[in-house]
Amino acid sequence: MIFSIVVHASPASSQAAATALRFAAAVLRGGHGIERLFFLADGVGNACSLTVTARDETDLQERWRELIREHGIKAGVCVSSAIRRGVVDAQQAQRHELAGASLHPEFAIAGLGELLEACARSDRVVSFG
């Protein structure tokens, strides 16, 4: 079965990001596919490359990257949510004359059309926030 997973919450403020990650791992463990991860609203914090995690805490950003890399999953970050929250890729940083990029390269800036396309292509869409 094909899933898409939508994440609305930042790992720093809500457990929902960790829940979504565990759910994604269970989907793959069960032999199912993930059409797309989509990060919306405060969920864009999961894709930020400038976070620092205390040594005795779980680095959720890093765990997302591992999951995406190992399984070749598409991970989209809503463009309008992201730019308002300072999560930008190199191209946007240049266009808007910002000091640098803050989106980790495992993630890609995406429009909401890609979320809707993921819905059309998935058997189940599950949101966490």
Partner 1 sequence: MKRSKKLLFVARSAPYGSARARTLLDVVLAAAVFEQDAAMLFLGDGVYQLSNHQDGSAVSAKTLGKSLAALPLYGIGKLFAEAAALPERGLELGELALPVEPLCNRQIRELFERADVVFNL
Partner 2 sequence: MSCLHLLSKSPASGLLELASKALVPGDALLLLEDGVYFQSQPQQLAALPAGVTIHFLEQDLLARGLHGALPENAGRIDYDGLVELCIRHDKTTSWF
Strands 75-78 and 33-39: parallel
Strands 33-39 and 2-7: parallel
**Which range touches a copy of itself (CB under 8 A), out of 19-27, 32-40, 97-105, 115-123?**
97-105
**91 interacts with, out of partner 1, partner 2, a copy of itself, none, CB within 5 to 8 A per kind:** none
**Which of 11, 13, 32, 66 lies at the binding interface for partner 2 (CB under 8 A)?**
32
Q: Is 48 a catalytic residue?
A: no
**Which of 22, 69, 84, 95 lies at the binding interface for partner 2 (CB under 8 A)?**
22
If binding is defined by CB under 8 A, does position 2 make contact with partner 1?
no
Strands of the 2-7 sheet, one edge to the other: 108-110, 75-78, 33-39, 2-7, 124-128
Cα separation values, 34 from 30, 59, 92, Å: 11, 22, 27
Which positions touch partner 2 (CB under 8 A)?
Answer: 1, 3, 8-9, 15-16, 19, 22-23, 25-27, 29-30, 32, 124-129
